[in-house]
C-alpha cells in the first residue's frame, strides 16, 4: 500500500471516529445518564488516541482483508475492534470505579458502532485505492 493511501485512510477513519465519539459522549450520553456530563478535557490527547487506533486498524485491515468487499469488510473489522478494544476495558473500569454493568454494555455497544463506522471509512478509502 502506498504511504499516501495509508495516511488518507488513517486520517479519514480517525476523524470519523473522533467526531461520532464527540457526538455520543457530549450530546447523547448525558441525556441517558444523569451522572454523565458533557466534557471537553483532554481533547488533544483523545484525538491522538483516535489517530493511533485508526493507524492500527488500517495496518491490520490492509494485512488481513481480501479486498473483495472493502467497505463491508472494513465495517465488520471495525465491529470486531470495537468489541476487543472497549468491552474488556469497560469491565475493568466498572470493577475499579463501580460503574453499572448496564452502562458498560451500552457504551460497549456504542463502540461497536463507532469503530464499525471507522472501519467502514477506512475500507472505502483502501478499496478505492486498490487495497494493496
pLDDT in tens, 82-130: 999 888 888 998 899 888 888 888 888 888 999 999 999 999 999 887 6
| pTM of the predicted structure, to 2 decimals | 0.84
Which among 68, 78, 66 is positioned nearest to 9, based on CA atoms? 78
Cell of 123: 475500507
DSSP state of 66: -
Summarize the confidence of residues 52-70 as an average pLDDT. 91
3-class SS at 1? coil
Amino acid at each position: 500500500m502506498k504511504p499516501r493511501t495509508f495516511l488518507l485512510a488513517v486520517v479519514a477513519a480517525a476523524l470519523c471516529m473522533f467526531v461520532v465519539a464527540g457526538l455520543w459522549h457530549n450530546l447523547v450520553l448525558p441525556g441517558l445518564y444523569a451522572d454523565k456530563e458533557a466534557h471537553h478535557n483532554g481533547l488533544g490527547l483523545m484525538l491522538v488516541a483516535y489517530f493511533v487506533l485508526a493507524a492500527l486498524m488500517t495496518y491490520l485491515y490492509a494485512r488481513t482483508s481480501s479486498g473483495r468487499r472493502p467497505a463491508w469488510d472494513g465495517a465488520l473489522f471495525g465491529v470486531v475492534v470495537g468489541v476487543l478494544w472497549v468491552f474488556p476495558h469497560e469491565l475493568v473500569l466498572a470493577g475499579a470505579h463501580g460503574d453499572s454493568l448496564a452502562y458498560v454494555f451500552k457504551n460497549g455497544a456504542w463502540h461497536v458502532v463507532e469503530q464499525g463506522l471507522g472501519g467502514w471509512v477506512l475500507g472505502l478509502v483502501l478499496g478505492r485505492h486498490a487495497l494493496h
